[in-house]
Amino acid sequence: MKFSKLSQLVLVSALGLVLASVLSGCAIVTVDYLFVACSSGTSAGSSGQIQSFAVDSESGALRPAGKTVPSGGGKPISMATTADYANLYVANQSNNSIVHFQVNYDGSLTQKESVTIPFTPAQIAVSQAASNPDNTYLYVAGGSNPAQVAVYPISSGAVGSLAQSVTLTVPGFATDVIAATGVTILPNGKGVYVSAYDQSAYNPGGTVTSSANPGWVYAFSTGSGGALTAASGSPYQAGVKPSTLTSEPTNRFVYVTDFASNELIGYDVVSDEGLSLIPSSPFKTGSEPTAIVVDPRALYIYIADSLSSNVSPYSIALSTGTPSAIVNVSGSASTTTDTEPVSILVDPALGRFVYTANFLGNSVSGFQINPNTGAISYTQATPYPTGLNPSAIVAVPHGNHAIQVVTP
C-alpha cells in the first residue's frame, strides 16, 4: 500500500503523539527527598554521612539524588526538620554535636553551623510552629547519669545557645541512673514528651540496685522561649524499656514503644499536656519495637520491630486513640524489612509510602500504603542500598507537594 506525502506526514505526527504520550506516562516525578544518616560510609574508617534519595511519586521507588555529605561527626543517631522543610538537623553521638543543614530545592544539603551539646544525644525533635517560624525550638533528649532534655532556640534555621536543660529523675529514687531514649513534640508545640528507662532497675546481665519501675515517660508543657514545665503527675510509668515515642497530628494521643516487653503503650493528652493511659494499653507488637510513626491523616500507626525485622501496621480509633493490628493482604499482621530496622517514616508529601532504615541490612526498605485499610505492600525494587549502618531517616516534600496539606 502506498501513502501520499500528506498521509505520511499525518502518520508520523500521530506516531509522535503516541510516543510522547507513552514517554510522559512513564516520566519519573519526584514527590519527596529522603535523607539517610549512616554511621559510616562504604569505606573502612569513614565517618558519618547523609545520603539523599528521590522518591518516585507513582511507585515509591528510591533513586540516588544529590551529593552524599558528611554528617559533621561520627555515629549520627537522629535527624529532624523544621516545619517548612527548609532546614535539617542531625545529632552525632561521637562528638555530641547538632549539625544544621540547609535543604536546597534539588534535594542537596548545605552545611551551616554546628553546636556542641553537654551530653550524648539519643533523639532530637523540632517544634512544629509552622504558623510562627520565629517561635521554633530544637529539643534534644539523651545522656545517662544524668539523663537530660535540652532546649535550643532556632532563628532563621540557625541553632542558638542552650536555653534550658532539665535533668530526668525518678521520684523517690534520686540516685538511680536514668537513660533517655526518645523525644517527641505535639504538632501544636504545646507539649514535649521524653521516654527514658531506669538502668538501676533494668540491667539485663548485670546487677539491679533499685526497686523502681524501670520505664518512664516525662511530660512537659512549653512556655515562653520554649521553656519546659513538668506536667502534673509526670513522669508516668511506661513499661520496662521504652525505646521511643511519637505524638499524632490531632494533638490528642502519645504512643510509646516498649523494647523489652514487645508492647505499644498509648496515652491520652489531658490538661496541661499531662498524660492518661488509654484503656486496654499496652498492645502487642513484634520483637523489640524500636521506631514508630503515625501517618499524616492520624489514621494509622507503623512500628519498626528491630529484632523480628518487620513493620507492624495498626489502625487508630479516632474517638479513643486505641490501636488495632491491621492484617495485610498476605494474611500477616506485619511485613518483612531488611535486617534490623531502627528508624521509620511516612512520606510527608502524600502520606502514601513508609520507609525504614535497616541498621544491619545497610539499606532502606520501602512500602506503599493502602489508603483505605492502612495495609502495606512493597515498593518497586525494595530494599535500596545505603552506606554502613543507617540509623535515621527523614524526608521533605518536593516542589508543589511542599505546600499540600495531608492532615486529618
179-231: pLDDT as tens digits? 999 999 999 999 999 999 999 999 998 999 999 999 999 999 999 889 999 99
Strand partners, 97: 92, 116
pLDDT digits (tens, 9 = 90+) for 143-175: 988 999 999 999 999 999 999 999 999 999 999
Domain membership flag for residue 366: no
pLDDT digits (tens, 9 = 90+) for 23-50: 344 567 999 999 999 987 555 555 899 9
Strand partners, 383: none
Domain membership flag for residue 197: yes
Per the prediction, the chain carries an average pLDDT of: 90
pLDDT digits (tens, 9 = 90+) for 91-107: 999 999 999 999 999 99
Residue 18's pLDDT is what?
39
Domain membership flag for residue 225: yes
Domain membership flag for residue 10: no
Going by pLDDT thresholds of 50, 70 and 90, the confidence category of residue 314 is very high
Block residue for cell numbers 531502627:
342
Where residue 130 sits, what CATH number does that domain have?
2.130.10.10
Q: 90 pLDDT exceeds 60?
A: yes
Show the domain range for 279.
Answer: 29-299
Structural domain count, the chain = 1
Domain membership flag for residue 323: no
Q: Cβ-count burial of 229 within 10 angstroms (0-12 exposed, 13-18 middle, 19+ buried)? A: middle
pLDDT digits (tens, 9 = 90+) for 232-289: 999 999 999 999 999 999 999 999 999 999 999 999 999 899 999 999 999 999 999 9
